[in-house]
Amino acid sequence: MIFLEAYTLYGRDSAAIAKACGIDESEAYNRMAEQDDIEHEKLSAEARAWRDRNRDLCAFLFREARG
């Protein structure tokens, strides 16, 4: 099985990806990080700004709720 097939099937489970692809877990983790970078670059600047604003807002609301 190729990495992208395993990544699609198993998500972020590096152990399952490693087993399916016949590689060690550290290599699977590195490939997952590379895939994250690729997906991040696909986001437009506007989408990244929107995501960051919402992340910051959620963090603020969580802190406020905890007191």
Q: Is 22 left (phi over 0), alpha (psi -120 to 50) or beta?
A: left
Give me the pLDDT at residue 38, please: 86
Residue extents of the structural domains in the chain? 3-66
pLDDT at residue 40, as a whole number = 80
Dist CA 47 CA 51 (whole Å): 6
Which segments of the chain are extended strands (E)? none
> Per residue of the chain (67 residues), what is the pLDDT tens digit?
899 999 999 999 999 999 999 999 999 999 999 998 888 888 787 888 898 999 999 999 989 998 7
pTM of the predicted structure, to 2 decimals: 0.61
pLDDT at 27 (0 to 100)? 96
